[in-house]
Amino acid sequence: MNMTPMNTPSNRREFERNFHITAEIMREGKMHFSAQVNGTIDGLSRVRYLPNGRIDFLSVNEMARLHANMTANIPVEMISQKFEKEKN
């Protein structure tokens, strides 16, 4: 297996992009959570937006941040293939 380091965001734009990717995958029903990952679900559900539509950094906990960064690093093709296999 070829392991590559995870790309971490270097600015606010990339950070918010990771959260928007995660939200879109969740909206499409391509991400499911086990009952044992309460911290991730709680963290993602507590992310708030500022009046200008930006993400409030103070509302993001470590689990939500790590999950968004991990999700943004998974190739889209891999997510789509897994979803299609489960659907059929």
Domain ranges, ordered by start, for the chain: 13-27+35-87
Take residue 68 and report the two structure tokens written for it. Answer: 């968004």
Structure confidence at residue 38 (pLDDT):
72
> pLDDT of 37-72, one tens digit each?
777 788 888 999 999 999 999 999 999 999 999 988
Structure confidence at residue 77 (pLDDT):
61
CA proximity to 20, closest of 86, 69, 81? 69
**Beta partners for residue 55, in sequence order:** 49
Residue 54 dihedral angles phi and psi, to the nearest 5°: -80, 160
> pLDDT of 1-14, one tens digit each?
677 778 889 999 99
| Amino acid identity for residue 84 in this structure | E
Average pLDDT, the chain: 83
Q: Given pLDDT bands bounded at 50, 70 and 90, which one contains residue 78?
A: low
Scanning the structure block, which residue is given the tokens 């991990």? Answer: 70
Q: How much is the average pLDDT of 66-87?
A: 72
- Cα–Cα dist 58/75, whole Å: 28
